Amino acid sequence: MTDNSLEDLQQVPETTYGVENYQNHLLEQYKLFVDMADRISERRAQANNYFLTINSLFLAVLGVLVQIESTFASGLFQLIITVVGMLLCFLWWLTVTQYKNLNSTKFEIIQEMELQLPLKPYKYEWWLVGRGRDPRRYLPFSHIERWIPVIVVLIYLVLLLLGIFCECSSVSGVL
Give domain limits for the chain.
6-174
Q: Which pTM does this prediction carry?
A: 0.80
What is the mean pLDDT, run by run of 10 residues, along the chain of 175 residues?
Answer: 61 75 86 92 95 95 76 76 95 96 92 88 89 84 91 92 67 40
Confidence (pLDDT) at 52: 96
Angle, alpha carbons 129-51-166 (nearest 5°):
115
What's residue 67's pLDDT?
73
Between the two ends of the chain, the Cα-to-Cα distance in Å is 72
